[in-house]
Amino acid sequence: MRIISLIGCLLMPAMASAATLSDYQVIGSHNSYKRALPSSVLAFLQAEHPRLAQQINYSHIPLKQQLALGLRQLEIDVVNDPQGNQYDQIELAQRFHEQWFSEAELKALAKPGFKVMHIPHVDVMTDCISFADCLTTLVDWSQANPKHFPVLVTLNAKENQPDFISQKAPAPFTAESYAALDAEIRGILQDKLITPDAIRGEHNTLRDAVLHNGWPDIDALRGKFIFLFDASAHQRELYADDHPSLRGRSMFAAYPADKDEAAIMVLNEPARQQAEIRERVSQGFLVRTRADADFTATPQQMQEQFEYAQRSGAQFISTDFYPHSAQARHTGYQVQFADGDFVRANPLTK
């Protein structure tokens, strides 16, 4: 099927004019680890929970392939499994008398630690079973491409599951959980991790550092990763507890602009939030937004949202419809910049 590129109408600024991370605009993927639903699960959801089926019927190529394609923003969801054995017997797999994982994958699922999945016991097919596996995949690719553009990795901590699942609820993320999560990121990424401490420098708060110093030159960040915790209000509060301005933390987090911890925002509605995104970018914050989020939208409606995202100046634009994704192949709609690339100079800050 011929792929029709539906792209924004903005003129492409010259990359030479961009100097710091905030001066670029990047396309990346949403729930980047996610593989396709088993056919039995999709059929069950379409019959019993059709809206949910519509919302989660998408998938992605492996993480390394996304990075090789040029995507420079990824998203990973984790569940907390401190004791192990909470996710080695997936409820829907058992209900349908199916085996979705290899023996090695089941052993990995049985071990204590952070697991990667979208919806516990429902949408669990993933490019990497454990969070450590995902991190190792990123590092391996980075070592093979040491001068790559910095990659933003958005992280969600999953603490709930659908009411139709009878297995015990996901373990909550506690102060100890966040310490372990930070340690895992730092331990695997090592010098490839850009931390809040590195950006804050001598300033009292992370917010002050971003507003007054901005972000480092892009060459200083090449070959590295930034982790952004896309957290609920409760999760943000706990993550900053005893870590003012995220001192000692491995991740930035999406705090409101008036908080000392503010540095990177998540503002996912570029049409409705256009003015706010432009204001935050002009102040010096980084912003992540979405080019598409509603699978009931027409290609024209998705194109319009992508154009709003570009005009907003948000530095990171997340999509499910990058070229070679299953969604792009199926619909003929794909998201990329005018020259076919995924990184360009930011039209708002150039």
CATH number at residue 290: 3.20.20.190
Is 141 within the bounds of a domain? Answer: yes
- Write down the pLDDT at residue 349: 86
Domain that holds residue 129: 21-345
The domain total for the chain is: 1
- Write down the pLDDT at residue 7: 37
Is 7 within the bounds of a domain? Answer: no
Is 313 within the bounds of a domain? Answer: yes
- Residues 225, 189: contact at Cβ < 8 Å? yes
Report which of 337, 316, 246, 260 is spatially closest to residue 6, judged by C-alpha positions: 337
- Write down the pLDDT at residue 5: 38
Q: What is the pTM of this model?
A: 0.94
Is 2 within the bounds of a domain? Answer: no
List, for the chain, all residue ranges whose pLDDT scores fall below the cut of 70.
Answer: 1-18
C-alpha to C-alpha distance for 43 and 38, rounded to whole angstroms: 9
Backbone angles phi, psi at 106, to 5 degrees: -65, -40
Is 319 within the bounds of a domain? Answer: yes
Q: Dig out the tokens for 131 from the structure.
A: 């969070």
Which pLDDT tens digit goes with each residue over 20-77? 999 999 999 999 999 999 999 999 999 999 999 999 999 999 999 999 999 999 999 9
Is 98 within the bounds of a domain? Answer: yes
Is 11 within the bounds of a domain? Answer: no
Is 350 within the bounds of a domain? Answer: no
Tell which phi-psi region holds residue 84, choosing left (phi > 0), alpha (psi between -120 and 50) or beta: left
